[in-house]
Amino acid sequence: MRVLMFGWEFPPHISGGLGTACYGLTKGMAYHNIDVVFVVPKAFGDEDQRAARIVSAEQQRIDVTSRIFKEYWSKMTYVEVSSRLVPYMAPEEFERLTDVTLHDHTDIQESIISNEFTFSGSYGPDLFKEVSRYGLVATKIAQEHHHDVIHAHDWLTFPAGIAAKMVSGKPLFVHVHATEFDRSGTSVNQDIYEIERQGMLHADQVIAVSNRTRNVIIERYGIAPDKVVTLHNAVAIGVTHKERYQNPLDEKIVTFLGRITFQKGPEYFIEAARKVLEVDKNVRFVMAGSGDMWQRMVQLVARYRIGHKFHFAGFLTGPEVKKMFDISNVYVMPSVSEPFGISPLEAMQNNVPVIISRQSGVSEVLDHAIKVDFWDIDAMADAIHALLNYNGIAQMFAKMGHQEVEELKWDNVAYKLLKIYQNVTGI
């Protein structure tokens, strides 16, 4: 079976768990002899291609005057309209081409589009434009690469997945790693919500990373329950090393590692840290990551006058993450809304006891992690204090957690995914 897979990032060029999950999944698929063509907006040339062939959307010359583009242009229109963007033509031309009440799109002139697009491959100010262009380029890529199924990861790639399906007619699987409700709470971006919803409606199967996310898809997006399946994430095996970094301090270390955004609950980590420091001065807290709430969190730490016990480490890469876990005594993930959450699995793999919020999808698969409500900072502080001061408890969670996470393998996830493909395609 050959899969045409659309992603937005791929290691080593990642900014979060999405790229990590895509990499682990493709490696698991290779183990089961599933051939994957993995498309990204921008390839840098240093991606690991042992598990998947990496195809860049850059420098793909498209020309909608050709028959195939004329045929599918009207079907792709909503992708542009839903995001209210004019990514590659003048506003007047865009309105003329996308207004279905005026014509049937057969009057496209050669001057409208004949281009090669470049992509930043990031999440910058032109993100919507890049998502839209990516969808258009996907039409060409789907023609050139034989495939049996199409797999699109998160809203950024849903327009591309839909466009590919329109060209090849192959089944589309959309993989939801997070929804707009996870990212923004109740203040959702309606353009993103609509792109997500259209992707789910056009998909032959919607894959959710947790039962929690599955429920959101059914209840908030109106997708039929029998169309949505849960496929939990896993963690890469064989990444631990004999050499371990040593804590250079006399104090114990408690770590938060993730995006510093509303979704991850960084303020609850700081509130819990303040309570712990009231009774235990022999501890340092580290917030590793970046995000739109970084400055507010720095100000909050300053307001509580705990800056001498708090470190903001910035965004950490793979080796740096390993080092951070090596010197950590406790890992905390206080997410307000976490579809899954791979970082606790990585911490447990490195023998670090973890505290996670009950509002996280990963809590569905873990037994040997302390679970608290994200808002219950007293319970969070008590759990941190216990793991720091009662060695027997900490050692038990570290040992049992490590054993538990070793059973959560991407090979097993890929096998379940293959069965999902087969149930739809009959292949």
Show me where the domains of the chain are located.
2-230, 252-405
- C-alpha closest to that of 345 among 292, 407, 278: 407
On the CB side of 401, CA atoms within 13 Å amount to 26
d(CA 250, CA 253): 10
Q: CA torsion sign, 100 to 103 to 105 to 111?
A: negative
Residue 370 host element (H or E): strand 370-372
C-alpha distance from residue 382 to each of 156, 167, 178, 371, 372 (Å): 39, 56, 30, 12, 10
Burial zone of 302 (CB within 10 Å; 0-12 exposed, 13-18 middle, 19+ buried) = exposed
Q: CA torsion sign, 38 to 44 to 48 to 53?
A: positive
Beta bridge partners of 35: 2
Q: CA torsion sign, 403 to 407 to 410 to 411?
A: positive
pLDDT value of residue 14: 78
Task: Say if residues 324 and 316 touch (Cβ distance below 8 Å).
Answer: yes
C-alpha distance from residue 88 to each of 46, 259, 306 (Å): 29, 32, 50
d(CA 421, CA 30): 15
Count the Cβ atoms, other than its own, within 10 Å of residue 245.
Answer: 12
d(CA 253, CA 84): 47
Query: Which residues neighbour 413 within 8 Å (Cβ) at sequence distance 6 or greater?
Result: 24, 25, 28, 231, 232, 233, 234
Pick the CATH number of 252-405 from 3.40.50.2000, 3.90.950.10, 3.30.1490.190, 3.40.50.300: 3.40.50.2000
Question: For strand 283-288 and strand 310-314, is the pairing parallel, antiparallel, or unpaired?
Answer: parallel
User: Phi, psi at residue 62, to the nearest 5°?
Assistant: -120, 150
d(CA 264, CA 383): 18
Tokens of 417: 């995914």
Helix axes 127-144, 154-168, angle to 10 degrees: 30
pLDDT value of residue 186: 76
Question: For strand 172-176 and strand 252-257, is the pairing parallel, antiparallel, or unpaired?
Answer: unpaired
Task: Give the chain's count of helices (H) and strands (E).
Answer: 15, 15
Tens-digit pLDDT string for the chain (427 aa)? 999 999 988 888 877 778 889 999 999 999 999 999 999 988 888 888 888 999 988 877 766 555 555 554 444 433 332 333 323 333 344 344 444 433 443 433 333 344 566 776 666 666 777 787 788 788 889 988 999 999 999 999 999 999 899 889 999 999 999 999 988 877 888 888 999 999 999 999 999 999 999 999 999 999 999 999 999 999 987 655 556 788 888 899 999 999 899 889 999 999 999 999 999 999 999 999 998 899 999 999 999 999 999 999 998 987 899 999 999 999 999 999 899 999 999 999 999 999 999 999 999 999 999 999 999 999 999 999 999 999 999 999 999 999 999 899 999 999 999 999 999 999 8
Burial zone of 102 (CB within 10 Å; 0-12 exposed, 13-18 middle, 19+ buried) = exposed
Fold of 2-230: Rossmann fold (3.40.50)
